[in-house]
Amino acid sequence: MPVALSKKERTIIKKKLQEAAENSLMKYGAKKTTVDNLVKSVNIPKGTFYLFYPSKAMLLYEVFQIKHDELQDEFVKKVLEIKDDLSPKKVSDLIFDVYKKLDSSFLMSFMTSGDLEIIISQLPLEVLQKHIEGDEISMDKILSIIPNVNEELSVIYGASLRLVMSSVLHKKEIGIKYYDEALKLSIKGIINQIFEEIKT
């Protein structure tokens, strides 16, 4: 029978499990992250893990959601900082910064490797529904800060930016050495086009 844990102990163990899961996702991905390795890393019995999470999928999803929400909050803050002093350069830099933050976290590989889809397929229906209804980091939100953007064109601009960002799947083919500069140039071209069209 598991030992009763104080509220403080529960908080500490949960945080350690989340950190261990994030580190494991960064190093090994979701498939090679195991409950056995996580509990060994945190130094708790395997049964204790299930006091916190009903499955590995729930822990990994929670870690994904926490990191996603941190980036979302940071993104919203930066949008508000530049909202009153917009320029094509500031908007382009903001979009590129969002990409770099995603790329330096486990989120990008988690999303592009298929790990997220695997985890989502293992979630309970109510958690899945909440995920579907949840807010995502989206290019549409960046575009919403630019005044006078044509609503019909906004959809195309958002799709264009998502297309450019999805090029991360082809980083090797594009050339890793030149990828960041090529991405900046592509983002800048789209944003400059938007600002040109709102002038007319």
pLDDT per residue of the chain (200 residues) written in tens, 0 to 9: 456 788 999 999 999 999 999 999 989 889 999 999 999 999 999 999 999 999 999 999 999 889 888 887 887 788 788 878 888 999 899 889 888 888 888 887 787 788 888 888 888 888 877 766 664 556 666 777 778 887 778 888 888 888 887 787 788 889 989 999 999 999 999 999 998 888 76
**How many CA atoms lie less than 13 Å away from 159 in the CB half-sphere?**
6
**Which two structure tokens, joined as six digits, stand for 4?**
């009763």
**Which two structure tokens, joined as six digits, stand for 67?**
């990191």
pLDDT of 157: 87
The answer to whether the beta carbons of residues 35 and 56 sit under 8 Å apart is: yes
pLDDT of 145: 75
The answer to whether the beta carbons of residues 115 and 30 sit under 8 Å apart is: yes
pLDDT digits (tens, 9 = 90+) for 30-46: 999 999 999 999 999 99
pLDDT of 109: 79
pLDDT of 133: 62
How many Å is the Cα radius of gyration of the chain?
Answer: 20
Can you tell me which residue has the tokens 């450019």?
A: 164
The answer to whether the beta carbons of residues 165 and 139 sit under 8 Å apart is: yes
Sign of CA dihedral 187, 188, 193, 194: positive
**How many CA atoms lie less than 13 Å away from 141 in the CB half-sphere?**
15
pLDDT of 100: 85
Does the pTM exceed 0.85? no
In angstroms, rounded to a whole number, what is the distance separating the alpha carbons of residues 161 and 95?
9
Residue type, 31: K
In angstroms, rounded to a whole number, what is the distance separating the alpha carbons of residues 196 and 200?
7
**Which two structure tokens, joined as six digits, stand for 121?**
């397929």
pLDDT digits (tens, 9 = 90+) for 58-97: 999 999 889 888 887 887 788 788 878 888 999 899 889 8
Burial 29-64 (b: 16+ CB within 10 A, else e): bbeebebeebbeebebeeebbeebbeebbbbbbbbb
> Furthest-apart CA pair in the chain: how many Å?
72
pLDDT of 1: 46
